[in-house]
Amino acid sequence: MSADLFEFLCRMGDNTLILGHRVSEWCGHSPVLEEDIALANTALDLIGQTQLWLGLAGEVEGQGRSADDLAFLRDAWDFRNVLLVELPNGDFGQTLMRQFLFDAWQELMLGALKESSDARVAEIAEKASKEVAYHVERSGDTVIGLGDGTEESHQRMQAALDYLYPYVGEMFESDAVDAAMAKAGIAPDPASLRDAYDARLAQVMAEATLSIPDDRFAHAGGRTGRMHTEHLGHILSTMQWLQRAYPGATW
């Protein structure tokens, strides 16, 4: 059980870690100051949630690894994030589309985790879901604003959705780890969240005048660790550089 729980917690923590890092890449580059601040705030929340998830993962594993050890000293094949969060930022619209696709899933997942049979998981979910409520409100509003905006913004948002949609399905895949979590009442079977997610997506995309692709093909392999995209290694080389070059460095 503890191996499955460790795996589950890494999936949660790696999602927020990698997306938090990706979003932080915008710092100082956003189209307007308010958006720069909003993205930095979102990244900060995600990194904060990472500390909680990976901190608990280290505790459950019981080998003395801290959240920092897990974040900075594992290599690409040990990461368990979904592929969606490691994809490049693209333009501002693509970043916000990715954010919405993730936020809408995270909101449902955390909502279910608040009822987890594991009190430690439930209290992290309780904390994080308050933050995510703000994330999804903003990313959803922005998707609508840009989708139903100018001809160019609409076109870019449709292109972003077409590019990112094949990465949505992985968030709802279930494997033996998920079955063990569901059986123990720790976490829901991700597949059980799909209907509510689809309803939310349909509502927001309709308002944004965007068309959801028909094809349900899903790229996968990130959350099981079978295969990441080529982008993850590049993220890690930036993110982990300092600890790799100067092991144990602190300030």
Partner 1 sequence: MQPRVDEIWDWLDQVPDPEIPVISLVDLGIIRDVEWQGDTLQVTVTPTYSGCPATSVINFEIEKALRDHGIEKLELKRQLSPAWTTDWLTEKGREKLEDYGIAPPSPTKGPERCPHCGGTHLERISEFGSTPCKAQWRCKDCLEPFDYFKCI
Footprint on this chain of partner 1 (rule: CB under 8 A): 34-35, 37-38, 41-49, 51-52, 119, 122-124, 126-128, 130-131, 134, 137-138
Q: Which residues contact 160 (CB under 8 A, 6 or more apart)?
A: 90, 91, 93, 94, 97, 98
3-state secondary structure of 28: coil
> Of 30 and 240, which has the nearer Cβ to partner 1?
30
CB of 38 to partner 1, least distance (A): 4
Q: Which region, left, alpha or beta, applies to residue 66 given φ > 0 means left and ψ of -120 to 50 means alpha?
A: beta
CA distances from 24 to 17, 41, 121 (A): 10, 9, 26
> Of 41 and 224, which has the nearer Cβ to partner 1?
41
What burial class does residue 79 get, using C-beta atoms within 10 Å of its C-beta: 0-12 exposed, 13-18 middle, 19+ buried? buried
> Of 23 and 210, which has the nearer Cβ to partner 1?
23
> Of 5 and 168, which has the nearer Cβ to partner 1?
5
CB of 140 to partner 1, least distance (A): 11
Q: What gap in Å lies between CA 48 and CA 41, rounded to an integer?
A: 10
CB of 34 to partner 1, least distance (A): 4
CB of 141 to partner 1, least distance (A): 8
